[in-house]
Amino acid sequence: AQYTLSNTSGTESVWDITDPFQPIQITTLHAGTQATFQQEASRLHEFAAFTPADLYQPVLLGKINNQDLHNSSPADYLVVTSPELLPQAQRLAQWHTMQDGFKTVLVTTDQIYNEFSGGSPDPTAIRDFVKMYYDKGIAAASKPRFLLLFGNGTYDYKYRAANNTNLVPTYQTVQSFDPLISHTSDDFFGLLDNNDDVNFVAPAGLLDIGIGRIPARNPAEATTMVNKIIHYHDTASFGGWRNQAVFIADDKDGNLHLSDAESLNVAVNSTNSRINQEKIYLDAFPLVSGNGGGRYPAVNEAIVNAVFNGKLIVNYSGHGNYLRLSEEAVISATEVKRFNNPDKLPLFITASCDFAPYDDPSKQSLGSSLLMDNANGAIALMTTTRVVFAYSNRIMNDNYLRIALKPSPSGQYLTLGEAVMAAKNETYQSFGDVFNNRKFTLLGDPAMRLAFPKNQVQLTAINGQTVTGKDSLQALGKYQVSGKITDGSGNTLTNFQGVVETVLYDKAQSVKTLGNDAASPVTSFQVQNSILYKGRATVKNGIFQFSMILPKDINYQPGKGRFSFYATDGKRDAGGADTNYIIAGLAPALTDNQGPVIKAWLNDTAFKKGGLTHENPVLLLDLADSSGINVSGAGIGHDITTVIDGNERNVLVLNGYYTGLLDDYQRGTVRYQLPTMSPGKHQIRIKAWDLANNSSQTLLDFEVANQEKSVIQKLMNYPNPFTDKTTISFEHNQPNTQLPVEIAIYSSSGQLVKTIRKTVFTAGTRNCEIQWDGTNENGQKLKKAIYIYRVVITLGEHKYVSAGQMILY
């Protein structure tokens, strides 16, 4: 048959595409505006005609380097990142290789797409890459243990939403309209057996690898997170906070969340008795009504100071969303900005709705801010991305704590990723709510371990008598405590030379809630937070001894006290607890009628009364007394307290922030993060008691300047007049900042004779001091005269200036 095309240009090409897999080009004859061609007509044919010049032309974007991810050796640690985050991912992978000896494989998403999905972004390609390593590992020891997804991912693959940053893709459920079913889950990448399917719920597949995600959206956030992980393992982060955990419970739903927190306390006690538990249950604090609804300001302060003091774990049960925890906003952006804990970063566990929906580009979640805004906040989060249910949350939370806090026989703990994997698998196998479990995710490094002390502290004797379980300690009694540092096998570490911190808690006592929420009746719970002794002692050859006096203010009802120990030699650390001693009775009275000596500063010990500070100062106290400082809280009013601006209705109790000096039970210090202060003049009254119930108090005046406006205050030089040299001194309100300072010195006629440039850094706001020797730029001594000096602080585009005069004679 012959076919004719009209209105042709003479350049058309005709193809027989009856078989699309074997197209055939047809010879075409062109005459004027027509083209003809022939083809056999025994069957139907399909033809395509086009002008070659109109075809799409490929655009050269760049060269693809040769790669072969399939030709690989077994690995422990797989890191998948985007090209723009690669330098920081490399830094973290290299650190793990050096620190843990892991075999690491670091690849970019582009490399995975090129080899597993034809160059197209696809989360399945990432799973196939991980499964390739999993299948190659015939023996369990050769299979990968951890997968880190280093980069943020979102639900928007087509970049239609504003502020979208989809660097390392997420898995999204097929159902996207039902808020109870719709979710993202990195579990998708860890279901690696052949028959596993993330959509299966009966039975649910089990995770085969520990997975975590660092949802960094840019290199700056990636740098912040890697810096935090490396610093977390530095010796600068050693401290007794590694024995501490805090449990926060919402006040709603018939005490459901309090009950959940109490069951978690039981899980911790039965799994790891070394962990000291602080309880911040909202309904045990006064509820304050305001225009924005009810608030718990005392809870806000308690949480800020718990984080400031240091906690290994912060665990929240209750309501929440991506902007706050609890209806009363006990943790919001305000609290997160106030967190000051770069050396004491906790794992946050939030059994609450959508605290960290990192895959939603329209939301900047509080969870992500905790992780990546700055050097403070959290080291990792075990948190949720969507709406969840309280009962199912408690099951997952309980399983995680029982698994994460349980050491192996050698004293080793699971990594974050291994613990989340094991907890999820336990939950999948024992509990049916698979969808709720999928919504929990680990935001952090799956290959890092929580900073549990690796060795043991054991109490061996008191006053030379070994532990019997029936011994008692009495109020006002003086005791010599002995102990040792051991490894996981109980062997004394005779090469351990360091310091042990000891806290002795009085017996547990009952606390009642206030019934602030109509649906939650008054109930009671046990706390063990009354401190009878807190001090530090030298450890020599793994052995330590120290003396202590117990305060007169104890709970005289017989019951078991609790010793808590933390020790470090600067390279290693150790922890321990002992509950074998009864606290009861009264020893002969002490002869002491003088109260403690109190010294107070803000931010650092160079602060002067009446000085200038910023809006969030830290109160520093030095306390000394011949019998010791009372921090028990058992006697009414016998606490270390602070009252700000005469507000007697808001007395701040600082007992928990007291730390004894090394080998000295008679003296100690307090470091306390004060509430945010308004600009202007303020006064603090500090009061303290000794163990014989004598008290003293002191006043500290200061002025707060708004940090948004740099202030130079109290500019002076001394001596003035001077002969050889003088010190130019001033105060500022920019703490923890590299501050560029320029001092220009002029003659009385206005001639510039000397310029001094210096960058100063202060841990707190205090006097900055810069010396001048009376010489000019050439080092020549200037003549006796009056000189004008001008101090300039430059911050960004703004300059702040103050001037004075001095006499050289």
- Give the model confidence (pLDDT) of 368-407 as tens digits: 999 998 899 999 999 999 999 998 999 999 999 999 999 9
Q: What CATH number is associated with residue 659?
A: 2.60.40.650
521 upstream amide cis, omega within 30 of 0: no
Angle at 370 between CA 267 and CA 214, to 5 degrees: 90
Q: In whole angstroms, how large is the CA radius of gyration of the chain? A: 34
| Coil vs helix vs strand at 463 | coil
- pLDDT grade for 204, boundaries at 50, 70 and 90: confident
Residues 257 and 388 in one domain: yes
- pLDDT grade for 577, boundaries at 50, 70 and 90: very high
Q: Which of 538, 561, 586 marks a domain boundary?
A: 586
Which pair of tokens denotes residue 183?
A: 């979710």
Residues 42 and 90 in one domain: no
Residues 433 and 464 in one domain: no
C-beta of residue 606 within 8 angstroms of C-beta of residue 729: no
Residues 35 and 165 in one domain: no
Q: Which of 537, 563, 586 marks a domain boundary?
A: 586
Residues 618 and 474 in one domain: no
Q: Confirm whether 575 is domain-assigned.
A: yes
C-beta of residue 531 within 8 angstroms of C-beta of residue 553: no
Place of tokens 């700055």: 374
Q: Confirm whether 222 is domain-assigned.
A: no
Q: Confirm whether 263 is domain-assigned.
A: yes
pTM: 0.78
C-beta of residue 193 within 8 angstroms of C-beta of residue 208: yes
Sign for the pseudo-dihedral over CA of 376, 378, 380, 384: negative
C-beta of residue 793 within 8 angstroms of C-beta of residue 712: yes
Which of 507, 505, 415 minimizes the C-alpha distance to 452?
415
For helices 109-116 and 123-136, angle between their N-to-C axes, nearest 10 degrees: 80
Q: What is the pLDDT of residues 520-554, one digit of tens each?
A: 999 999 999 999 999 999 999 999 999 999 999 89
- pLDDT grade for 325, boundaries at 50, 70 and 90: very high
Q: What CATH number is associated with residue 479?
A: 2.60.40.10
Q: What CATH number is associated with residue 357?
A: 3.40.50.1460
C-beta of residue 375 within 8 angstroms of C-beta of residue 270: no
Residues 603 and 578 in one domain: no
Q: What are the contacts of 294-299 at 24+ separation with CB within 8 A?
A: 294/327, 294/328, 294/516, 295/328, 295/329, 296/326, 296/328, 296/330, 299/248, 299/328, 299/330
Characterise 554 by phi-psi region: left (phi > 0), alpha (psi -120 to 50), beta (else).
beta
Domain total in the chain: 6
203 upstream amide cis, omega within 30 of 0: yes
Residues 608 and 732 in one domain: no
Residues 693 and 720 in one domain: no
Most distant CA pair in the chain, distance: 125
User: CA 443, CA 422: separation in Å to the nearest integer?
Assistant: 16
Residue 161: partners with Cβ closer than 8 Å, 6 or more residues away: 154, 361, 362
Residues 396 and 272 in one domain: yes
Residues 136 and 263 in one domain: no
Residue 286: partners with Cβ closer than 8 Å, 6 or more residues away: 296, 298, 514, 516
User: CA 433, CA 218: separation in Å to the nearest integer?
Assistant: 35
- The rounded mean pLDDT for the chain is 92
Characterise 602 by phi-psi region: left (phi > 0), alpha (psi -120 to 50), beta (else).
beta
Q: What is the pLDDT of residues 423-464, one digit of tens each?
A: 999 998 888 788 888 999 999 999 999 999 999 999 999 999
Query: Residue 542: which domain range?
Result: 455-586
Q: Any idea of the CA torsion for 742, 747, 750, 752, to the nearest 10 degrees?
A: -40
Residues 419 and 335 in one domain: yes
User: CA 539, CA 318: separation in Å to the nearest integer?
Assistant: 43
User: CA 462, CA 704: separation in Å to the nearest integer?
Assistant: 48
Alpha helix stretches (DSSP H) within 60-122 = 86-100, 109-116
Q: What is the pLDDT of residues 475-515, one digit of tens each?
A: 999 999 999 999 988 999 999 999 999 999 999 999 999 99
Sign for the pseudo-dihedral over CA of 387, 390, 392, 394: positive
DSSP 515-575: --STTS---EEEE---EEEEEEEEEETTEEEEEEE--S----S-EE-EEEEEEE-SS-EEE
Q: What is the pLDDT of residues 728-779, one digit of tens each?
A: 998 887 766 678 899 999 987 778 999 999 988 765 555 688 999 999 999 9
Q: Which of 150, 173, 196 marks a domain boundary?
A: 173
Q: What's the distance, Cα to Cα, between the start and end of the chain in Å?
A: 117
Q: Confirm whether 210 is domain-assigned.
A: no
Q: What CATH number is associated with residue 165?
A: 3.40.50
C-beta of residue 473 within 8 angstroms of C-beta of residue 563: no
Residues 243 and 350 in one domain: yes
Which pair of tokens denotes residue 300?
A: 């806000």
